[in-house]
Structures are given as C-alpha cells and as structure tokens.
Chain A
C-alpha cells in the first residue's frame, strides 16, 4: 500500500517520461484556464473588495453572447471573419453594459456593506445571469466560432523522450493570449492614470474618494475589464469544449487558485492557477486510480487547504500582522 502511494507513481513517471510530459502539459493548460478565471476575480477584488462569485457565469454568459450574435448574423446570411469580429465587438459591448448595470443596480446601493453581503449580492447576479442566459440562449451546449476568429485547431505532435507528446494548437494559442493579456493588465495597472486610481481604491475607498477619484467610474472600468477577461476565457475554453453552463463548477476552482496566490496578486493568480492545474492532473493521473478515480473534484481544494495551513496569506500576499 505504502509502495503504491509513495514509490510506484514516481517509478511510473521516470519510466514513461513522455506520459509525464503530456500530463504536465495538460495540467498547465487547465491551469491557464483557472488562472484566467482567477484573474477576473483578482481584478474585481483588488479594486472593490468584492469577492465576485459571478465571474464564472460571466465567462459562460460572454461566450454565449458571442456565439449568439454570430448565429444571428449568419441567419441573416452574414458570416465569416468579419461577422465573427463584429460579434466579438458586440459581446464586449454587452459586457460593458453589464458592468454599468452591476455598478448602478448592485454596487452603488451596497457600497458600505460588509464583504459577505456583497459576496451574496454577486450570487444574486449569478442567478440572474443564469436565468437570463438560459431564457435568451437556451440551455443546450453550443459550438465556439473558433475558426472564424482565426484560432488554430488541430494538434502538434512532438517526438520526445521516446514517445509522442501531443499539444493542441488551441492550447498553445490560449497560453500565448493569456500571457499577452497579463502583460497588458500589468502595464495598465502600473503605467496609466486609471491604473493608479485603481490601486488607490484598492487600498482605501474613503481615501481615494477624498482625493477626487470617482469610485463609480472605477468600478465600471474594473467590472468591464473583468468582463473582457471573462470573454477571452470563454472563447479559449469554448474552443476546447462546448459553451454551456457546466463551467459554473469549474469557476469554483478559481477559489483554491486565489488562496494559493493571494486574493490581490495578479502574478499570484497565474502561478496559483498553474500549480493547481498541474497538481490536479498529476494527482488524478498517478494517484487517482488508488482511490477509485475522480479525485480531481476535490484535490485542488485540499492542496490549497494544506498550503494555507503553512502560509495563511497565500504565495504573494503580505504577511498578516495583527494589531490592536
């Protein structure tokens, strides 16, 4: 038994390195997805202190909107790349409207409330989006318009370590686009006037207000940015599988990612996402069979939990000094 747990998996790893690389790659790819969802969380948490449960559903909703617009266009006989990008633009527009609505209807009246109330309010947003989305787009899974958006398909097979490692092109594209987006966000936060205002708001709402930063405007921007992140996530994820409401549960995986990375750290979200993605896949592949499989459903949380006990503030969070 002990042999099966502590030795056998590693023997397997060494004996079949190509399988290990494949597993690692798959872990990294799902890690990128987690990281992207977590990134949306972090953006909103940083700027408004709101733990946005709706991020997961925003991913689904934005992807559905995109596909929905494109389907409408093609029913009018307007399809192809131009139509796809017009749909993309319109979907982004919808996310902007959503951001404004959320700010106006939900955040503004609740600004002084404790975190848990705002957290609950984002649950409300989630339910509204689910209900609205299902009524408008229907519940059945849909195909992402990957080709029309110039996203590659198929796979690259690399011969290495005595075997074939197969990399999906879409995954490579996802990794590249995710990195670009992270760099873009980092520049936006560090170099622009709005970015500075964002960081000020993150530190203290009241102090930011007192120097003339408009909270309402900042919130719209942040929720819009999170909406765009959601849209990109939705496209990437939709291109790998279908667009459906099942992603809701995947979005919860962003929680352990955030815990690992620290709630306010953008690099933390990325590193945390990759760790969770890789850890999960390795665990499932090498140790899962011992427990009867399916341990992917909880392994991420347990990894995060164990990690938390050692470092309650997360990888990149500041050390907590309690003061009285």
Chain B
C-alpha cells in the first residue's frame, strides 16, 4: 500500500456522502467547527476522537436531527443544508445510538418490525381489517425481519420485551432494527461500548459481514482503537469539534496530532 488513500479510492467507488465545512453550535458552545470529510460507497468509515469531540453531534447532523449553522451535506449527489430526520430515513440513512434507544415497551420482533415502517404501505382501512393485503404485507415483512433475527442470532428473544434484555443483546436488537430499514448508509454510534471481549468480537463479525456481503456503507464511532484500526477502511479524527486527521488507519496512527490528542502534548 504505497499510496493508501488512492488505493482505497479505487476499491471503494464513488462518494456516497460528503460533509463540507459544517459548523454547529448550541448557544455559545461550538460543537463542530468547519469539518469536511466524505464517505465512499461500500467502505467502513470510522469517526474517532476524545470525549466531547463532537462525534455524536456529527452523526446527528448527518441524519438531520441537528441542523448545522454553516456548511453543506451532499448525499447521493443531492446537496442540502437542512433535512428532517424522517427524510434522511426515507433516503436510506439508518443509525444506532450511543445510549440504546430501543422502544422499551415493545418486543424484539416489534422493534425490528418498526424498522420496516417505511416499506409498508397499506393504509388505515386495510390495517383495520388485518386481512388480505394488509396481512400479506405483514407476513412478507415478517419474513424479512426473521432473516435479520437469524443473522443476528437472536431467535430466542423474539417475543421478549426489550426492556428486559441485557445490554449486549439490546445493542444487537438495535442493530437489527437499523438493518430492517435496508439502509444504504448505516451510522453506528459506539456499537461496542460497554461490551465484553466476546460480545465485541460478535459485533465486529456482524459489521464486517454486513459490509462484505450486503455492501452496506458504514460510518461508525468507536472508542476501542484496536477495533477501529482492524475494521475501518478510513478514519476521521475529531478533537474539540475540529478535524485533526483523516486517512487510512496506518496514516492516522502515525499522525503526530492524533498522538497528541490521545496521549496529551509532551508525551
């Protein structure tokens, strides 16, 4: 890998999402300052940085939950400055959350079925009857959801209310819910936080499988540097809302600014 950036560019295809000069602030607090990077189709893109670097805010901007004060976001060739979260969802951006944001009162199955909402079209009339087309639609999507349940090996907890599940499984169900949307771009906010070694390995395998076999583009935030370096194709490093490095894991690892940020200046 003599010219890593170019090599990656060749294998990964065109740009799926480009963030261009985005700044975001809450009142006086600057969360993100003039950050630009891109995500290419089919790659695993990691966003790393110390706590409070603006990583989650960046994801919130990408899927339209926060509106940046400055900058543009180009997704699938369309440039926008603001977008509603449901629009992002309907264009194929799915995500998971740092603190599990499952629908706690619903079963695993129902949670994942919610991910299919956008693809179900039968209206109130047929829903009232739960018969004929509505039932066929329900069964079709159930079949798809069952595939995801198989893939994530959570068959046994299908009908358990998610509020009762242990943390690791909740994270897995949340991934399932995002997958049910058949996203083109999957945003994972610390998918492995608080997991033990074994659970982390499982989660890594799911992420790699998704990327390899289904071609899903993935952007992930993760604190476990080992995982990030192994999984990702390219890495963006944020610190205090600024981008300080961008490149392949090897490049980033060698970058003096990154080392300063993680180990402190004058290490």
Contacts and interface: CB of A to CB of B under 8 A. Distances in A.
Interface in B94-121: 97-99, 101
A324 B97 contact: yes
Nearest to A324: B97
Contacts, number: 8
A105 to B, nearest CB: 28
Interface in A308-324: 321, 324
Contacts of B98: 324
Task: Assign chain A's interface to a size class.
Answer: under 10
A321 B56 CA distance: 15
B60 interface: yes
A321 B28 CA distance: 14
A321 to B, nearest CB: 6
Interface string A204-237: 0000000000000000000000000000000000
Interface string A288-324: 0000000000000000000000000000000001001
Task: Assign chain B's interface to a size class.
Answer: under 10
Interface string B169-182: 00000000000000
A324 B26 contact: no
**B interface majority secondary structure:** loop
B60 A321 contact: no
B65 interface: yes
B26 A321 contact: yes
Nearest to B99: A324
A246 to B, nearest CB: 39
A324 B55 CA distance: 12
Nearest to B98: A324
B69 to A, nearest CB: 15
A324 B26 CA distance: 14
A113 to B, nearest CB: 14
A324 B85 CA distance: 13
Contacts of A321: 26
B134 to A, nearest CB: 32
A9 B97 CA distance: 55
A156 B97 CA distance: 65
A124 to B, nearest CB: 24
Nearest to A322: B65
A324 B99 CA distance: 7
Contacts of A324: 56, 60, 65, 97-99, 101
A117 to B, nearest CB: 14
A321 B65 CA distance: 12
A324 B60 CA distance: 8
A146 to B, nearest CB: 51
A321 B66 CA distance: 11
B189 to A, nearest CB: 8
Contacts of B60: 324
A254 to B, nearest CB: 31
B95 to A, nearest CB: 9
Contacts of B101: 324
Contacts of B56: 324
Contacts of B65: 324
A231 B209 CA distance: 68
8 contacts: A321-B26, A324-B56, A324-B60, A324-B65, A324-B97, A324-B98, A324-B99, A324-B101
Interface of A: 321, 324
Per CB-CB distance, the 6 closest pairs between chain A and chain B, nearest first, are: A324-B97, A324-B101, A321-B26, A324-B65, A324-B60, A324-B56
Interface of B: 26, 56, 60, 65, 97-99, 101
Given A321-B26, A324-B97, A324-B101, 5 more contacts: A324-B56, A324-B60, A324-B65, A324-B98, A324-B99
